[in-house]
Structure 1
Amino acid sequence: MAVITISRQFGAGGKTLGQMIAKKLNYNFINDDIIQMVAEKAKVSTDWVESIEKEAGGKLQKFMSTIVARNFVERILGGDKGFIDEEVYVKVLNDVITQIAQEDNVVIIGRGGQYILRDHPDAFHVLLIAQEPDRIKFMETHYNLSNQEAAKIVKEYGRRRAILYRKFKKEDYDNPELYHVVLNMSKLDMEKASDFVYRMVADLVCTLAE
């Protein structure tokens, strides 16, 4: 019984590795499902949650964060409709990921799981890193992209990752001290990496059960 969080530099293969580990352990794999869960809890659309995840600090976001905006939304949509800004997003995300972790036997991709579950006794935190050319190559190979397209996506999603963690007021997300293990995917293939994490988590579960 464990919870695995996987953080990654974009293009290092976090989603692919997470799916492989979840299959080997027969765990639930949680990735974009979190967007739907946050939207339902905040009573807003998934589009609104996705926009919060992608951007921060813009003029529209600052406007929507005011009390005036909140009151405006309630007048237009009714009091039973929800509202979300960066502050609400972080709070609801904390609640959702904490609730997911209570189920155990889950692999959670990104979204600050290493911070939210830092004190969870059964959580196992993994960070994937890789050289930028290797991350670009991974995106080319696994998503049928041109080199130019892959390079653009790696850069853009790296920016979004930094934005997301700024919402947590965190900038140390690549600090190895936050994790049980850091895997350099420039030096490991997916099968070896997934086997390594599988064995470590299996050993951890056995230790906790003793």
Structure 2
Amino acid sequence: MASGPFIRSPAGETKYSEGPVMPVITINGPIGCGAVTIGQMVAEQLQLNFVDRLFFTEAARIVGTPVGTLIAKEQRVDRFRDRLGRFVQTMLERSAMSGVSGEPYFGRGIENLPPETYMDLTGEGGGVAQKLDDKTFIEAMNKVAHDLHAQGDAVIIGRGANHILANAAHTLHVGLLAPMEVRVKTLMDREHFEEEEAHIHVEELERAREDFLLKFWKVHPSEASHYHMMLNMGKMNTKTAAEVIAHAAGDLTS
């Protein structure tokens, strides 16, 4: 696979890997649609860099704030405040069992915790997300997306990248959707949630996603006009979806 999208020089500047520029592909969809799995498959097939959590890592470096602050900014929804209970306890136990310590947000599933709980885990409570103003947040997000696009060779998962790069050349924007029952089952299988727990998780994260996109881009994530294609993951498996995306991306380089 191609080298990582960001390379640090000894002086700390951001440099980019060399090589032919390939298209940038953005993949967006509600939790449980398989965006991460599909993105990894596409990146492997096309030998592109896979960018998920690294997006926030770079944005956090630019802003000079912990990664957890940016994730909480993206996912902050007041409805989450009273949604803790057994769900949170289960996630905390899984995090501990996985050996996650100094950087809890890199534990599997931790990035999808309700933001207030997430901030407690990272020691950043007390409304840290609110202290990061919208202008600084979106400027960092824009810079990371445009830097990735300038380099090429990337599959970017979520983060509003399809809106930031809406009119960018050599870029393919893919939207995913799936019925609620499919998304709930995906979480039950992947994270071993109980059905009710998975249902709550899917609903809450989708509300956060909708609010995030509405706030910064005044759009709804399911609007087809924001994508080159939309794939119904209730009608195909992840392997087929990855092959369709990889084939479509080939048109951008021909």
Give the TM-score of the pair, scaled to structure 2.
Answer: 0.68
User: How far apart, in 2, do the equivalents of 1:57 and 1:11 lie?
Assistant: 22
User: How far apart, in 2, do the equivalents of 1:159 and 1:172 lie?
Assistant: 11
Query: Is contact 1:90-1:167 (8 Å) kept?
Result: no
Where in structure 2 are there 5+ consecutive unaligned residues?
A: 1-21, 80-130
Query: Is contact 2:51-2:156 (8 Å) kept?
Result: yes
Query: What is the CA-CA distance between 1:56 and the residue it aligns to?
Result: 5.7
User: Aligned to 2:70, which of 49, 52, 61?
Assistant: 49
User: Aligned to 2:213, which of 165, 172, 186?
Assistant: 165
* Residue identity in the other structure for 1:33: L
* Residue identity in the other structure for 1:96: V
User: How far apart, in 2, do the equivalents of 1:172 and 1:166 lie?
Assistant: 6
Aligned twin of 1:104: 152
User: How far apart, in 2, do the equivalents of 1:183 and 1:130 lie?
Assistant: 8
Query: What is the CA-CA distance between 1:144 and the residue it aligns to?
Result: 2.1
Query: What is the CA-CA distance between 1:143 and the residue it aligns to?
Result: 2.2
Give the TM-score of the pair, scaled to structure 1.
Answer: 0.81
Query: What is the CA-CA distance between 1:139 and the residue it aligns to?
Result: 1.2
Moved more, 43-52 or 111-120: 43-52
Query: Is contact 2:26-2:161 (8 Å) kept?
Result: yes
Taking the TM superposition and a 5 Å limit, the aligned residue runs for 1:61-80 are none
Is the partner of 1:29 in helix, strand or coil? strand
User: How far apart, in 2, do the equivalents of 1:127 and 1:5 lie?
Assistant: 8
**Percentage of matched positions with identical amino acids:** 29
Aligned twin of 2:28: 7
User: How far apart, in 2, do the equivalents of 1:128 and 1:51 lie?
Assistant: 23
Aligned twin of 2:15: none
Aligned twin of 1:16: 37
Aligned twin of 1:200: 248
Query: Is contact 1:31-1:108 (8 Å) kept?
Result: yes
User: How far apart, in 2, do the equivalents of 1:31 and 1:160 lie?
Assistant: 17
User: Aligned to 1:92, which of 125, 130, 140?
Assistant: 140
Taking the TM superposition and a 5 Å limit, the aligned residue runs for 1:31-50 are 31-50=52-71
Distance 1:134 1:57, change over 3 A: closer
Q: CA RMSD in A?
A: 1.7
User: How far apart, in 2, do the equivalents of 1:172 and 1:51 lie?
Assistant: 20
Query: Is contact 1:111-1:164 (8 Å) kept?
Result: no
User: How far apart, in 1, do the equivalents of 2:71 and 2:232 lie?
Assistant: 29
User: How far apart, in 1, do the equivalents of 2:77 and 2:206 lie?
Assistant: 14
Per-residue deviation, residues 74-129 of structure 1 (Å, max 9, x unmatched): xxxxxxxxx73222111110111111111101000111111100111111000000
Query: Is contact 1:52-1:85 (8 Å) kept?
Result: no
Query: Is contact 2:213-2:219 (8 Å) kept?
Result: yes
Per-residue deviation, residues 47-77 of structure 1 (Å, max 9, x unmatched): 222221121689xxxxxxxxxxxxxxxxxxx
Distance 1:31 1:8, change over 3 A: same
- For these two proteins, the number of residue pairs brought into alignment is 182
* Residue identity in the other structure for 1:53: E
Aligned twin of 2:198: 150
Structure 1 residue ranges (4+ consecutive) displaced by more than 4 angstroms after TM superposition: none
